Structure 1
Amino acid sequence: MEETIDLRELFKIIKRKIWMIVLIGLIFGIVSGVVSVFFITPMYQSSTTLIVNKENSNSETQLSNSDDINYVQKLAYTYSEIITSRAVLGKTISQLGLDISYKKLASCVTVTNITNTQIIKVDVLYKDPKTAREICDTIPAVFDKEIQRIMKVSGVEVIDKAIVSSSPVKPNKIKNVILASAFGVLLGICIAIVQSLMDTKIKTSSDIKEHLDIPVLGIIPKQK
């Protein structure tokens, strides 16, 4: 006979196994907290924003029509790729004397083009807040020289300089503990349901009627 559980029975199972469900949730939450505090390296983020220039014959930035604006916006996407190139990040590593490979630094740098603007946002995620700011400030300076050498055009101007982050952005300890605890509770509920489905013992008169389909003539009371 196929085993099925209605909503009422599900609540009964959860109520009977509530101690186990809560315990599993607590264990997962505690383990997540310990891992977040002692085993995951905190990461700090610094950000800077750049504006792309279009050089005219007078070496001044003028965006007089939609063609100029579209041109500069497309140029911003090209610049974004160059920012994370070996030419830029390699010189950034050299100038700051960082003990890190180009690939590792590239994985720490995120470049975003602000939609429908000529603005580029550069985010640097690093384990040391001061180094994160130094990288974030050095990249635009190196990039400005490289872009003029590579493309023979005017460079970029910094809108907002990077600042030292006062607190890490990763790991988010509270979020990790909440998610791990919720997962533990769901896991506990699943275990309780599986245990109930696998338990074939006859415990009550209703179990006899349901599973054996025979009438109950009488019940012997449990002796105290």
Structure 2
Amino acid sequence: MQDSMNFTQIFDALKKSWKFILGLTLLFALIAAAISYFLLTPIYKSEATLLVNQETRTSKSNDAVDLQTNLQSITTYASIAKLPDTLLPVIDKLNLNVLPEELAKDIDATAVQNSTLLTITVENPSQKRAVDIANEIAKTMVEKNSLELNNLKIASKARVIRNADPVEPTPLINIGIGAMLGLLLSLAYVLAKALMDVSLKTSEQVEREIGVSVIGNIPFIK
């Protein structure tokens, strides 16, 4: 019985099964394409940007201290953006049929590096709905802040972009993954089948496996 395969045997096995390998690779790529274009729901992303600014300054104010205070404020506001107290007015204003906890999963609030800007990102199957939610969150935060610190304002509103591409799914990546999966599965099947094939097909295999010389061949007759 063969315990291993040399490079030539592996190459021969792959060469004989190239149609199967190609076919399975294309099949998995087509399945991935069908899922990406017809089954998965497109997800769109919209962003609104807030500016955090320390309004109250004195003649002895230190710019470095003010900047550090602003950066700390951004972290706080990033958390506030996803709180129920912020999202409930948004849900009521837009008549959303969703709980604050569920809506928070589609929201991300992050600080823009080396700045005092806070970006509110919303993902939704509807681009317009994502825009409305992002802008309403920004508006709600500014209105609440104006009653207290008054150091928050809208720097940039989210806008509807015509013919915008969804952020999910990514068909080309999915197709590539599907093709790679089909290729790996087909290669594994072909090599496993070749390893389990214990039949001796050539005189060289007979001599190597049994250890005796072949003194004659019987030709194959169709």
- TM-score with structure 2 setting the length: 0.89
Deviation at 1:9, TM superposition (A): 3.2
Deviation at 1:159, TM superposition (A): 2.1
Q: Secondary structure at the match of 1:124?
A: strand
Conserved? CA contact 1:145–1:155, under 8 Å: no
Q: Report the equivalent of 1:193.
A: 191
User: Structure 1: which 5+ runs fail to align?
Assistant: none
Closer/same/farther in 2, CA of residues 221 and 89 from structure 1, 3 Å limit: same
Q: Secondary structure at the match of 1:104?
A: helix
Amino-acid identity (%): 25
Summarize deviations over 1:167-203 as a string: whole Å, max 9, x none: 3221112221121112111111111111111111111
Closer/same/farther in 2, CA of residues 114 and 10 from structure 1, 3 Å limit: farther
Q: Report the equivalent of 2:96.
A: 98
Summarize deviations over 1:7-64 as a string: whole Å, max 9, x none: 4433322211111111111111111111122211111111122221112158xxxx85
1:35 matched to 2:35? The reply is yes
One-letter code aligned to 1:27? L
- The aligned runs of 1:108-119 (5 Å cut-off) are 108-119=106-117
Q: How many residues end up aligned between the 2 structures?
A: 219
| CA distance in 2: counterparts of 1:53 and 1:184, whole angstroms | 54
- TM-score with structure 1 setting the length: 0.88
| CA distance in 1: counterparts of 2:113 and 2:43, whole angstroms | 27
Give the alignment's Cα RMSD to 1 decimal.
Answer: 2.1
Conserved? CA contact 2:146–2:152, under 8 Å: no
Q: Report the equivalent of 1:50.
A: 50
Conserved? CA contact 1:87–1:146, under 8 Å: no
Deviation at 1:92, TM superposition (A): 0.9
Q: Report the equivalent of 2:211.
A: 213
Deviation at 1:155, TM superposition (A): 3.8
| CA distance in 1: counterparts of 2:204 and 2:102, whole angstroms | 65
Conserved? CA contact 2:2–2:198, under 8 Å: no
| CA distance in 2: counterparts of 1:47 and 1:213, whole angstroms | 74
Q: Report the equivalent of 1:161.
A: 157
Closer/same/farther in 2, CA of residues 54 and 8 from structure 1, 3 Å limit: farther
